[in-house]
């Protein structure tokens, strides 16, 4: 019966999500179910029963008039031209996206901790050349990760530039994966945010207690400790958010006005903005924030405080989304 259900959902996927179409789909499902049970009762195998049901009811062009949806089936919708994303493609995209999320998060982490080499050199009273080498090496590694990750994801650009859709089975698979990740996502986001919020506490305690270890003044290391905690928190936030976004991206492919969009997209509606200009602004928002962060950090060499741009950017993003989204 699952095969029949999946076939039925695929048949109706690109039809408008109207009461008439939904009524016809439910009616056809009841007819398929009755026929299947009848064939099983007559001693047919499951495969034989499924094949017979699909052969008898599987051509929507032939039975659409009897179902009262002939006009919907005959009308050529733009959604019929959508490229179908197969289950294999969806799994491959999620796999590549998870790698992209990890490299992106690791690159940001390296940017944040890049000044720690200089802090250690200052604490040990050694040459700053080692700190500078660590700074430049970390930034270089981060840039390489950003560029490499972007290039490896180029072959998925068609998901943004073309009309695409997923069938019932693929949509259910993606939604199931997202639901399984939901608890992990909530936990990781909570931990990441808490780390960013309390990052100053250990440093403040060290400064207040004037802790030293074998003659080594730990005050000099308090700034490094703050950066490391923030870096870990930001790493967790970016990794979990990017991973969760990859599920949402696939779930938004189906047009919400079609039956296919009724599977899951009603819970994850496609973001629409009030104007093309607003859409353009939001599409480049985080890339712009990253550029500002790097430019500000390089010009000021204030890597221990420039990280504050990320939580501020998150707040501004929420405000802009609220202002620019269509309601």
Helices 87-113 and 128-152, packing angle to 10 deg: 160
Q: How many CA atoms lie within 13 A of 98 on its CB side?
A: 9
180-208: pLDDT as tens digits: 998 999 999 899 888 887 877 777 776 66
Q: What is the pLDDT of residue 213?
A: 55
Res 326: pLDDT = 65
Ranking 121-135, 177-191, 204-218, 228-242 by mean pLDDT, the lowest is: 204-218
> Tell me: the pLDDT tens digits for 265-286?
444 445 566 777 777 777 677 7
DSSP assignment of 5-27 equals HHHHHHHHTTSB--HHHHHHHHH
CA 239 distance to own-chain centroid: 10
- Please state the separation of Cα 79 from the chain's center in Å: 23
Packing angle of the helix pair 219-251, 116-124 (nearest 10 deg): 170
Residue 74: strand, helix, or coil? helix
Q: Please, which pLDDT band fits residue 78 given cuts at 50, 70 and 90?
A: very low
Other beta carbons within 10 angstroms of residue 111's beta carbon come to 25
Tokens for 3, please give them.
């095969």
Task: Name the nearest CA neighbour of 113 among 311, 314, 297, 299.
Answer: 297
Count each helix (H run) and each strand (E run) in the chain, helices first.
Answer: 16, 4
Task: For the chain, give the mean pLDDT.
Answer: 77
Instruction: Specify whether the CB–CB gap between 187 and 245 falls below 8 A.
Output: no
* Cβ density class 21-58: b for 16+ within 10 Å, e for less: bbebbeebbebbeebbeebeeeeeeeeebbeebbeebb
Confidence band, pLDDT 50/70/90 cuts, at residue 106:
very high
Q: Which range has the worst mean pLDDT, 68-77, 83-92, 127-136?
A: 68-77
Mean pLDDT of 239-257: 83
Total residues found in the chain within this entry: 327
Tokens 């949509």, residue located: 171
Give me the helix-helix angle, 87-113 and 285-300, nearest 10°.
20
133 or 59, which is more confident?
133
Span 118-131, average pLDDT: 76
Whether residue 14 contacts residue 254, with contact meaning beta carbons closer than 8 Å, is answered with no
- Name which residue leads in pLDDT, 124 or 218: 124
* Closest among 265, 232, 287 to 110, alpha carbons compared: 232
Q: Nearest 5 degrees, angle CA 150-CA 109-CA 140?
A: 60
């Amino acid at each position: 019966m699952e095969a029949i259900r999946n076939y039925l959902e695929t048949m109706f996927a690109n039809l408008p999500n109207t009461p008439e179409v939904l009524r016809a789909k439910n009616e056809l499902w009841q007819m398929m179910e009755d026929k299947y049970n009848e064939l099983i009762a007559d001693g047919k195998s499951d495969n034989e029963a499924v094949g017979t049901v699909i052969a008898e009811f599987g051509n929507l062009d032939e039975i659409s008039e009897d179902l009262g949806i002939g006009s919907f089936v005959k009308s050529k919708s733009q959604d019929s031209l959508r490229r179908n994303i197969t289950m294999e493609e969806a799994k491959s995209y999620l796999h590549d996206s998870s790698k992209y999320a990890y490299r992106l998060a690791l690159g940001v982490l390296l940017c944040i901790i890049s000044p720690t080499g200089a802090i250690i050199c200052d604490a040990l009273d050694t040459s700053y050349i080692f700190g500078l080498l660590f700074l430049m090496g970390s930034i270089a590694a981060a840039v390489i990760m950003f560029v490499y990750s972007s290039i490896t994801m180029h072959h998925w650009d068609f998901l943004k530039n073309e009309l695409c859709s997923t069938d019932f089975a693929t949509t259910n698979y993606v939604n199931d994966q997202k639901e399984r990740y939901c608890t992990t996502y909530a936990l990781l986001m909570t931990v990441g945010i808490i780390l960013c919020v309390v990052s100053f506490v250990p440093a403040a305690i060290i400064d207040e207690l004037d802790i030293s270890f074998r003659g080594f003044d730990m005050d000099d290391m308090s700034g490094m400790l703050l950066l490391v905690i923030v870096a870990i928190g930001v790493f967790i936030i970016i990794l979990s958010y990017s991973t969760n976004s990859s599920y949402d991206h696939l779930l938004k492919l189906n047009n919400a006005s079609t039956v296919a969009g009724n599977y899951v997209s009603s819970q994850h509606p496609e973001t629409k903005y009030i104007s093309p200009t607003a859409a353009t602004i939001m599409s480049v928002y985080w890339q712009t924030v990253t550029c500002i962060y790097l430019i500000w950090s390089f010009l000021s060499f204030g890597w221990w405080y420039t990280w504050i741009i990320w939580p501020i950017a998150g707040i501004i993003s929420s405000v802009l989304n609220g202002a620019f989204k269509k309601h």
